[in-house]
Amino acid sequence: MSKKQENNTPEISTEDEFAIRREKRQNLIDNNIDPYPPYYKKDVTLADIKKKYVNVTKEAPTTDLVTTAGRIIAKRGHGKASFGNISDETESMQVYARKDVIGEEGYAIYATLDVGDIIGVTGTPFLTNTGELTIKVSEFTLLSKSLNPLPEKFHGLQDKELRYRKRYLDLITNPEIKDTFKKRSQVISSIRRYLENEAFMEVETPVLQPIAGGASAKPFMTHHNALDMKLYLRIALELHLKRLIVGGFERVFEIGRVFRNEGVSYKHNPEYTLLELYQAYADYNDMMELTENLLGTLAKEITGGHKVQYDNVEINFKPPFARMTMASVIEKYSGIDIYKHDFKSLKKELEKISIHVDETYTSKGQLINLVYDKKVEENIIQPTFITDYPLETSPLAKKHRDNPEIVERFELVINTMEIANAFSELNDPVDQKERFEDQLKQREAGDEEAHMMDDDFIESLEYGMPPTGGLGIGIDRVVMLLTNSQSIRDVLLFPHMKHK
């Protein structure tokens, strides 16, 4: 029960409060006061005020004037004087307004301000009797009249779905989450800095593509009217970046949005941020070393050390990371030696351990991936490279130099999530075309995520691509781990939601 209800004072409905605030807005306009002025010069942040005037006391006051701005998050009136709190991106701070200082007309306007309004203030920092640094207001300007009331102060915005749908309210009422998105920005900045120091060049490639390639995923489709052609939102960055390696660049990377028409979960969003990089004259071993050094550096820069707390688990990002082959990790967690079986016998082994295999599975490699997904990934907590994947499910990776049934590929798994995927890149155009043709057969058999044929990419390889290592890292999941966020939606400012 609220205090208003305890005092038998009727609650004001949201609709009534909106109407009251709308009327205040009109009254301001009628009195030639613009409730949404075009400009205000904010000289200093609230955090900088607190830092600069930390030593102000009653015995050692300051006469300095500061000019700042923020949103009113609390307001307490006491007749001829009023305390309140304003908040900006950096901090919140108390303000104090008196009628005898800002004048009767000014105080009358100040008294009509609501929680949620954005104001600019000029005043002198001083210490109250309770020891709180406060700005004594000498001038104020209404910068934006808030028409909708904010969620109740003491409970904030708690409903998870509403927080995701109305992130702007989440940021206002739960300011601590700003730290997550500041760290996200730092992660991306640190990645750029690290790669640039390693002589990689950042590039941009098309988002709209005539062929959705570079990954096994179902794309979003659209139509370009002027060219009268079907286009896809990219599902990966790979094929255009490798064209640049053909063209003579030796170290390139891109940080960009990719789009996959798939389900939503705590670790999946149909639109997410991907880092992909390609390095000529390198292989997947080089990519492992680069990956662990990059992530180790990120952990130290963002959290202060290699050991990161995630939920109830401590994750150690200190290189080198553990390495296990696909075959060995499957045998460890399922008891199946995949090298002892062909397609039919492996299918029987999967059924023995209660893994259902439907008719869409047509190759041994698909069964290997299936048992890995069902029995292995959930057990891997500390950073671990899973290496040497089946040939049939890795159409863009080079065959293993010691075993043609597998490819030189790894995935990095941390806390049961795939974080990175990398290859020694396939650069034989004849082999690549055969792999694409095999993928087409899988599409015809019903696999909507199998690769399309990309003749232009094949042609680019025919001009010659040097030995190349390639790497993709899901940035959203990295941010999850480094900010102790349990859902991908917690690290996306505007995650996709089902229509209301």
Give the pLDDT of residue 439. 87
pLDDT at position 8 over 70 = no
Give the pLDDT of residue 455. 94
Strand order in the sheet with 221-224: 208-209, 229-233, 221-224
Cβ count within 10 A of residue 221: 11
pLDDT tens for residues 176-204? Answer: 899 999 999 999 999 999 999 999 999 99
Closest of 392, 398, 389, 399 to residue 466, by C-alpha: 398
Give the pLDDT of residue 78. 72
In the chain, what percentage of residues exceed pLDDT 70? 97
β-pair type (251-259, 271-280): antiparallel
Q: Is the peptide bond before 320 cis (omega within 30 degrees of 0)?
A: yes
Higher pLDDT, 449 or 24: 24
The whole-number average pLDDT for the span 7-21 is 78
> Per-domain residue ranges for the chain?
14-150, 176-321+382-491
pLDDT at position 244 over 80 = yes
The whole-number average pLDDT for the span 473-483 is 98
- Would you state the structure tokens that stand for residue 228, as one six-digit string? 């009268």
Please state which CATH class domain 176-321+382-491 belongs to.
Answer: alpha beta
Give the pLDDT of residue 5. 43
pLDDT tens for residues 104-116? Answer: 999 999 999 999 9
Q: Residues 71, 74, 79, CA angle at the centre, nearest 5°? A: 120
Q: Are 101 and 137 in contact (CB under 8 A)?
A: yes
pLDDT at position 263 over 90 = no
The whole-number average pLDDT for the span 87-107 is 96
In 59-132, beta strands by DSSP E: 66-78, 81-87, 92-98, 118-127
What's the CA gap between 459 and 221, in Å, rounded?
Answer: 25
pLDDT at position 79 over 80 = yes
pLDDT at position 272 over 90 = yes
The whole-number average pLDDT for the span 360-380 is 93
Higher pLDDT, 14 or 427: 427
pLDDT tens for residues 220-233? Answer: 999 999 999 999 99
- Would you state the structure tokens that stand for residue 353, as one six-digit string? 């351990």
pLDDT at position 429 over 50 = yes
What's the CA gap between 458 and 465, in Å, rounded?
Answer: 11
SS3 assignment, position 88? coil
On average, the pLDDT of the chain sits at 94
Beta bridge pairs of residue 229? 224
Q: 322 φ, ψ to 5°?
A: -65, 155
**What's the CATH number for 14-150?**
2.40.50.140
The whole-number average pLDDT for the span 248-273 is 95
The whole-number average pLDDT for the span 53-65 is 96
pLDDT at position 52 over 80 = yes
